[in-house]
Amino acid sequence: MRQEIRLAGFGGQGIILAGYVLGKAATLYDGKEAVLTQSYGPEARGGTCAAELVISDQPIGYPLVTQPDFVVCMSQESFNKYGSAIVAGAKAIVDADLVEVPGSSAWLHQIPATRLAQELGNRIVANMVMLGFVCAVTQVASRAALEEALRTTVRPRVVELNLRAFAQGFEHAVAGA
C-alpha cells in the first residue's frame, strides 16, 4: 500500500508541521515507511508552500509524490496551483473557509478548518483541525498515532489546544458534516 499525499497552503499556516506530524505518526507509531519533502517560495510567510508525503507499508523506492491520492489545500492559491494535479480516483480536501471550488463532486471533501480553529480560540490551529479531518478521511495513519505524534512534537504549553483542534477535525469528518 503506497499512498501519496500533498498538503498545501500559504506560509504561516503550519503546512510543513502538519506534514511532519503525519509522517512521524506513520513511521514511529504505526510502523510504516514515510518520506516527507517540502517546498515553499522565497517569500515563506504568505506564499504557497507544500508538504508532500509518501507513506507505505513497504520500503519506498521512489520518494517523490508523482500522482497524489489526496491533495489537501488550505488556500485558494494552493488549490489553483495543485488542484489540477488531481487525477481520476484521487480526492481533494479543502478548507471551505479559504478555498472556492466550482461545483462539488465525490472527489471533494470540505471542512471549515479556519472557522473551527477560531471557535477553539486560535486560528493558528487550523492545520491541526485539517490534520484530524485528513486522518478520518484517508486513514493513512491511525488517530492514536497522530495524537501521540502531536504530543511529542508541539510545545508542551500548546499540546492540549492542538489535540482539541485535531479532535474537532476528526469528529467533523466522522459526523459527515
Domain harbouring 19, CATH code? 3.40.920.10
CA distances to 51, 103, 131, 146, 167 from 143, in Å: 20, 31, 10, 5, 9
Contacts of 145 (CB under 8 A, 6+ apart): 25, 26, 28, 29, 30
Residue 76's identity, in one-letter code, is Q
* 40-87 per-position pLDDT tens digit: 766 556 678 999 999 999 999 999 999 999 999 999 999 998 887 688
Number of domains in the chain: 1
Residue 101's identity, in one-letter code, is V
Burial class of residue 108 in the structure, from the number of CB atoms within 10 Å of its CB (0-12 exposed, 13-18 middle, 19+ buried): middle
Beta strand extents in 11-112 (DSSP E only): 33-40, 48-56, 70-73, 91-95, 108-111
Element housing 168 (H / E): helix 159-175
Q: Are 108 and 145 in contact (CB under 8 A)?
A: no
The reported pLDDT for the residue numbered 159 is 97
Give the range of the structural domain holding residue 165, as residue numbers without chain letter. 2-175
* 6-18 per-position pLDDT tens digit: 999 988 899 999 9
Q: What is the mean pLDDT of residues 21-33?
A: 97
Could you tell me the three cell numbers for 35?
Answer: 518520506
* 109-166 per-position pLDDT tens digit: 999 999 999 999 999 999 999 999 999 999 999 999 999 999 999 999 999 999 999 9
